């Protein structure tokens, strides 16, 4: 994406560390990176804050333990004075408390010394690309007058996007079991889409053959209409219809945005609920589904990488203009043993946790190996009950929205 390329062709980096040898080592690790430029160094946090304000780097590499002003305080000051400057914290200590404090101070990444050149470059690119995406979506609209688009037509279905904050968060398990629970709790027409186009697991979790997938729809052999789509989707014993991901990763390239648009239009017309299991990234296809979702379920776990990604997600969706109630934040695999409480997480991300899903590794492993949803084979488990609670919450929201829309439709008919 051109939006993530530095205007000058280089990502401008400031190094802040009280040890001269470390500063030189970081310089050496970045020396051969053509798109990264070291614009300055500082020996303590106070000097780093001053230089960050003066030079306005894209990324600050910040040591956590320094004289005069430590990296935590310096990161807070930089985030306050220069919100577009991204901080990557560096430390020899990887304790959860250090990670949590760094995250609360505004740091985007946390590198534990010694780190490799690849780890360093990846972190710099990642935080820069995130900031660039925020700048694009926050840019003011063109000054030229543009006619307001007509209101969208009434929609028949409800699109629910399920996204994990990182790999292993359990988003696919939640998506599969939620789809089945929605069907069983309401007898509604439910479709489940595996939008992890390269490495989808929905077929495995439901023990479905992958002889027909979304790649068949994108092959161009036939125009995508309701009949073709229905014939491509797999039927599950729960009566949920499933659109599977391609059987091989390379086939994902066949699926283009125009295919996704057409598929979503048809599903939206034919089903009461469309549950989409998304890949854990902000790729173009992921953003497309998030934009068109009525509800986003963000699945996280109580570990620092997942919480950091959750915080970034909410910052980005705020810039994208998503209303706060569009996202339900779910903390999965909760057992109270991580040392990070739900209150700590809520304070960090500035968003409430709507649901805690208990950790049950044995039950989820059994369900996965059998290719059967937890909510049907082990209904009385606390985890199964919580997912059914989630399904009921979604059904109540859908009913309330339908009821609220009814007076509007009646008024339109009278006019």
Judge if the upstream peptide bond of residue 114 is cis by omega within 30 degrees of 0. Answer: yes
Q: What single DSSP character describes residue 294? A: S
- Measured CA angle at 295 (ends 291, 299), to 5 deg: 100
Q: Whole-angstrom Cα distance, residue 181 to residue 388?
A: 6
pLDDT number for residue 400: 85
Per-residue confidence band for 291, with pLDDT thresholds at 50, 70 and 90: confident
Q: Whole-angstrom Cα distance, residue 326 to residue 332?
A: 19
* CATH 3.40.50.300 holds for 158-402: yes
Q: Whole-angstrom Cα distance, residue 147 to residue 145?
A: 7
Within 155-303, residue ranges assigned H as helices are 171-186, 202-205, 214-217, 226-232, 257-270, 284-292
Per-residue confidence band for 53, with pLDDT thresholds at 50, 70 and 90: very high
* Of 125-129, 139-143, 348-352, minimum mean pLDDT range: 139-143
Four-point Cα dihedral 178, 183, 184, 186, nearest 10? 110
Q: Where are the domains of the chain?
A: 7-134, 158-402
Per-residue confidence band for 314, with pLDDT thresholds at 50, 70 and 90: confident
Q: Whole-angstrom Cα distance, residue 396 to residue 125?
A: 42
CA of residue 305 relative to chain centroid, distance: 12
Summarised one tens digit per residue, pLDDT across range 243-274 is 999 888 888 888 888 888 899 989 998 899 99
Q: Is the pLDDT of residue 147 over 50?
A: no
Q: Is the pLDDT of residue 47 over 60?
A: yes
Q: Whole-angstrom Cα distance, residue 320 to residue 292?
A: 12
Longest dimension (CA), the chain: 77
pLDDT number for residue 340: 81
3-class DSSP string for 311-380: HHHHHHHHHCCCCHHHEEEEEEEECCCCCCCHHHHHHHHCCCCCEEEECCHHHHHHHHHHCCCHHHHCCC
Summarised one tens digit per residue, pLDDT across range 164-208 is 988 888 999 999 999 999 999 999 999 999 998 888 889 999 999
pLDDT number for residue 97: 64
- C-alpha separations of 355 from 168, 296, 332, 391 in Å: 18, 13, 8, 12
158-402 shares the fold of 7-134: yes
pLDDT number for residue 91: 86
pLDDT number for residue 409: 55
Beta-carbon contacts of residue 335 (< 8 Å; ≥ 6 apart)? 358, 359
Q: Is the pLDDT of residue 330 over 60?
A: yes
Q: Tell me the pTM.
A: 0.66
Q: Whole-angstrom Cα distance, residue 240 to residue 155?
A: 20
Q: Which of 291, 325, 329, 324 is nearest to 309 (CA)?
A: 329
Q: Whole-angstrom Cα distance, residue 108 to residue 102?
A: 8
Query: What is the DSSP track for 5-63?
Result: S-TTSSEEEEEE-S-HHHHHHHHHHHTT-TTEEEEEEESSHHHHHHHHHHH--SEEEEE
Q: Is the pLDDT of residue 136 over 60?
A: no
E strands, 95-153, in order: 109-112
Residue in the structure block whose two tokens are 């840019």: 139
pLDDT number for residue 2: 33
pLDDT number for residue 413: 56
CATH superfamily assigned to domain 7-134: Response regulator (3.40.50.2300)
Average pLDDT of every residue of the chain: 83
Q: Whole-angstrom Cα distance, residue 266 to residue 365?
A: 34
């Amino acid at each position: 994406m051109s939006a993530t390329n530095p205007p000058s062709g280089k990502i401008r980096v400031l190094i802040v560390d009280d040890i001269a040898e470390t500063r030189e080592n970081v310089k050496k690790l970045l020396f051969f990176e053509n798109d990264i430029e070291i614009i300055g160094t500082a020996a303590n946090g106070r000097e780093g804050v001053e230089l960050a304000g003066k030079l306005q780097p894209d990324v600050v590499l910040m040591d956590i333990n320094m004289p005069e002003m430590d990296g935590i305080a310096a990161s807070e000051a930089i985030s306050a004075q220069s919100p577009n400057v991204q901080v990557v914290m560096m430390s020899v200590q990887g304790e959860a408390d250090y990670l949590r404090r760094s995250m609360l101070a505004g740091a985007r990444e946390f590198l534990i010394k010694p780190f490799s050149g690849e780890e360093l470059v990846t972190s710099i690119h990642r935080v820069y690309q995130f900031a660039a995406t925020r700048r694009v979506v926050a840019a003011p609209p063109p000054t030229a007058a543009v006619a307001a688009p007509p209101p969208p037509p009434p929609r028949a279905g409800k699109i629910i996007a399920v996204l994990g904050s990182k790999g292993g968060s359990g988003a696919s398990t939640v998506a599969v079991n939620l789809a089945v629970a929605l069907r069983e709790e309401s007898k509604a027409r439910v479709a489940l889409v595996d939008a992890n186009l390269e490495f989808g697991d929905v077929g495995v979790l439901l023990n479905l053959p992958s002889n027909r997938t979304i790649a068949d729809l994108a092959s161009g052999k036939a125009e995508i209409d309701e009949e073709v789509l229905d014939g491509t989707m797999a039927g599950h014993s729960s009566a949920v219809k499933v659109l599977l991901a391609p059987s091989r990763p390379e086939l994902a390239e066949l699926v283009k945005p125009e295919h996704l648009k057409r598929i979503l239009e048809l599903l939206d017309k034919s089903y009461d609920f469309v549950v989409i299991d998304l890949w854990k990234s902000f790729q173009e296809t992921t953003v497309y589904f998030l934009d068109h979702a009525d509800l986003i379920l963000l699945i996280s776990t109580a570990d620092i990488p997942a919480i950091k990604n959750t915080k970034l997600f909410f910052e980005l969706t705020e810039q994208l203009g998503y209303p706060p109630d569009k996202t339900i934040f779910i903390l999965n695999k909760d057992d109270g043993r991580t040392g990070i409480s739900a209150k700590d997480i809520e304070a960090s991300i500035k968003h409430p946790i709507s649901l805690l899903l208990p950790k049950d590794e044995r039950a989820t492993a059994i369900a996965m190996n059998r290719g059967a949803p937890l909510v049907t084979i082990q209904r009385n488990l606390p985890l199964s009950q919580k997912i059914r609670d989630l399904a009921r919450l979604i059904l109540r929201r859908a009913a309330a929205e339908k009821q609220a829309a009814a007076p509007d439709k009646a008024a339109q008919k009278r006019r």
